[in-house]
Structure 1
Amino acid sequence: MDVDKSSPAPPSQPPMLHPAVEPLSFLLGSWRGQGEGGFPTINSFSYGEELQFSHSGNKPVIGYTQKTWKLSSCEPMHAESGYWRPKPDGTIEVVIAQSTGLVEVQKGTYNEKEKVIELQSETVGNASKVREIRRLFKLVDGNLCYEVQMATNTVSLQPHLKAALKKL
């Protein structure tokens, strides 16, 4: 069997954290749990979820992926992925592409001591109905908890999703 010597060998240990990523290092890894969703225009629902945050070490960026499924059947529901760019001044820029075709560009802040991240959409692209999305993440007793609020063309900013996830 031939071995491709042009590719670098996989690292034997995790990469060093970029200094800008260090304050959010608690996010790194996989998180799994359950959430609840609803909105004035849809029925309430429950879901299973897994989030993954990764970092390559050489750039001030955290990779992000998310997937959800129906608890009763494990049928996939939603997925999204993107990149989080924390800045040394406590601000953060996030871009997320959703499986529905919707794209979010968000800006916000993080509090390293309290382990809280607040995001608000600057742009919601390819969305005929969604006007605004806000996300709040916080570490509570070792669980990553989040809340998502959403506004559409016909409904003002309302709670949409809420979950608590445990680190795997």
Structure 2
Amino acid sequence: MEGVTATASPDIPMHPAIAPISYLLGTWKGQGEGGFPTINSFSYVEHLNFSHSGKPFIAYTQKTWKLNSGEPMHAESGFWRPKPDGSIEVVISQSTGLVEVQKGTYDAEEKVIKLQSELVGNASKVREITRVFKLVDEELSYEVQMATNLTSLQPHLKASLKRI
């Protein structure tokens, strides 16, 4: 993919399995908003990075900071593994100790990825997480919904990011 330099080394060829979601590769920066029925709303700045090593997966890291103060908030990392049938498997480890195993689908033409938690591990309250990523006009946006022991699936996070 021309113009993408988000590999471990520019000399490493991209594995064909990640080609359908290779539009994610690179570093993204933007702003987001969060909230939930049990917490106060908040705004944040975010960096996402998607990279590859020549293997059939994309490595993912995410960090957020409070919008006004710049104080660190959240971090997570994981791996995204697209399959030829349009399905995708994602594992994410959060700085809070929570771990997500997600499965979903990707649409390479529409540039949409929909994820649904199969397992939320080491969570005393969180029961379910969904994530939807979309790329429209070179802007990557996402929405995260969450369910807890006390609430059904509710909006939790949304952000818009630009490649830097």
Alpha-carbon distance in 2 for matches of 1:15, 1:114: 27
Question: Cα deviations across residues 70-93 of structure 1 (Å, max 9, x unaligned)?
Answer: 011111000000001111111000
Q: Which of 5, 14, 17 in structure 1 is aligned with 2:14? A: 17
Q: Which of 44, 50, 59 in structure 2 is aligned with 1:53? A: 50
Amino acid at match of 1:70: K
2:13 corresponds to 1:36: no
SS state at 2:17 partner: coil
Shift of 1:53: 0.2
Q: Tell me the residue number matched to 1:137.
A: 133
Alpha-carbon distance in 2 for matches of 1:118, 1:60: 19
Question: Cα deviations across residues 107-131 of structure 1 (Å, max 9, x unaligned)?
Answer: 0000000000000000000000000
Alpha-carbon distance in 2 for matches of 1:14, 1:87: 24
SS state at 1:144 partner: strand
Alpha-carbon distance in 1 for matches of 2:67, 2:89: 32
SS state at 2:20 partner: helix
Give the 5 Å matches for 1:1-168.
Answer: 11=9, 13-57=10-54, 59-168=55-164
Shift of 1:140: 1.4
**Root-mean-square deviation (Å):** 1.0
Shift of 1:17: 1.1
Greater Rg by CA? 1
Alpha-carbon distance in 2 for matches of 1:153, 1:48: 28
Alpha-carbon distance in 1 for matches of 2:136, 2:36: 25
Shift of 1:98: 0.2
Q: Percent identity?
A: 76
Shift of 1:14: 3.9
Q: What is the aligned residue count?
A: 157
Alpha-carbon distance in 1 for matches of 2:93, 2:144: 15
SS state at 2:23 partner: helix
SS state at 1:48 partner: strand
Alpha-carbon distance in 1 for matches of 2:136, 2:71: 29
Amino acid at match of 1:130: V
Alpha-carbon distance in 2 for matches of 1:34, 1:14: 32
Amino acid at match of 1:69: W
Amino acid at match of 2:33: E
Alpha-carbon distance in 1 for matches of 2:23, 2:32: 20
